[in-house]
Structure 1
């Protein structure tokens, strides 16, 4: 087989990029929020009402890591990649819908929810695409040439 036989698949590259990008954002937000809560608590501030924020930050951190792991698995064309990313996307959809119900309605909250759902729909479409399915079935890792 030549190098042209295993050219990068645009759908697999796109899904990998989206998963890594959203994963890094989730890890960064979750870590920064948990760090802020910890700093507030160590400074003697009252953190009793920060419980929901801590749970949200921890879940953001965990989902971010799950997306990054899924992207690495997809890059390596591992069979579990589609399942890992699908679980993360499903949990993010539930999280986005719950945030839309619980959060107060502001321009930023609506914009953030709409953009989140658009990104998740794009990930779902790419996840179900033939390009990603073929990439995982062939088992040949992606390469940037």
Structure 2
């Protein structure tokens, strides 16, 4: 019981340590060129093939790319790039049930990154679109 309590306390402390992204970091960010639709489709389809059961039966709907920053954990250094948000609907071959899941793809000068927003405790600590920052 004591170990569980300490684990919960440690998790809460780490969650509270989210460092905000500063205006200076945003101003100094280097962005790659905006990805074209072929590059987006290639990245998203490759990921779907590896992450979804029956990828040939999956459908996707993606937003246009927008400048954003993202990080997997709230206290790591943010990555800046072009974010594409995709809703992927996967259909189970045997039961016919469909499930919808959202994925976020960040295209950066250093490579591409995929995020599962359902894993974030508070999405505002992990992702922000720059056109929403005033």
Note whether the superposition's TM-score is higher than 0.5.
no
**TM-score relative to the length of structure 1:** 0.22
**TM-score relative to the length of structure 2:** 0.23
User: Which is strand-richer, 1 or 2?
Assistant: 2
Q: Which has the higher contact order (CA 8 A, sep 6+)?
A: 1
User: Which is helix-richer, 1 or 2?
Assistant: 1
